[in-house]
Structure formats: C-alpha cells, structure tokens
Amino acid sequence: MRYLGIDYGSKKTGIAFSDDAGTMGFPRGVIFTDKNLAERLSKLIGEEKVGAVVIGESKNFDGTDNPIATEARTFARELRSRANVPIFFETEIFTTQEARRLPTGERVSGGVVDAAAAALILTSYLSKNGNN
C-alpha cells in the first residue's frame, strides 16, 4: 500500500510518498497551507492511489499539544472526510532539525526541509508498524 506523509505547518506543508510496498518515505515537495489544502491533497491521494496518510504529531517538549497540533487535527478531519482514507499520526519531534542536516554536516533550509521532514515522519511510522 502506498502512503502519503505530511509535515503540516501553518504556512507551508511538506509532503512525501512511500514506495509502493509502503516501506520508506521519499520527499515530494511543499504545498502552501491555505483553505484549499485538504482539497488539493485529496485529489493527489486519488491520483497517486494512496491508501493511508501519516501526519506529523506536533507536541511541546512536555508532551502536550501545541497550537500546530490543534490545527493539524482539524486539517486531518477535513482530509479524512474528503479523501476517505485512514489517517494516522506520528510523533514529529526534531524531524525538522534532522531534515536540515546533510550527511556532510552542512545545514539546508527552505521547502526541501519540510518535504524531508515529511519523509522522516512517514518512514518512522512505517518502521514502527512493520512496513519495512
């Protein structure tokens, strides 16, 4: 089964897709977060034959929800009603920081970071749930 990984943000949202076997996430790009995000992603889910979605679960260091977590849950409900696929949440703590680091130690910025973070979130979920 193919998965869509989402690193939801208030201004931009990184996306990643798994391989067809659902074993690993690969960065795909960034979509601006606006009122049409769920509609655009629902269309993409259909085009890419996605069977489930994994959204990064944003938390404070003490484990409580932060403002982005509340927005992401609202977004997840809208996406679920439009796309009619299961949606799962995966902890996203430090994924953005990890996505900024290249193997060479250099740091990157921009949209590539959000898409890479989505891939890390997705790969983490797939690894924990026996899809590797």
What integer pLDDT is reported at residue 131 of this predicted model?
60
Residue with tokens 């790009």: 29
Q: Is the dihedral of CA 37, 3, 16, 49 positive or negative?
A: negative
Residue 117: give the domain boundaries. 2-128
What integer pLDDT is reported at residue 102 of this predicted model?
47
DSSP 52: E
Number of compact structural domains in the chain: 1
pLDDT tens across 96-123, in order?
A: 555 555 444 545 555 577 888 898 899 9
Given a cut of 50, the residues of the chain with pLDDT beneath it are 102-104, 106
For 112, the token pair is 């590539």
CATH number where 94 lies: 3.30.420.140
Question: Measuring CA to CA, which residue among 87, 120, 103, 1 is closest to residue 50?
Answer: 1
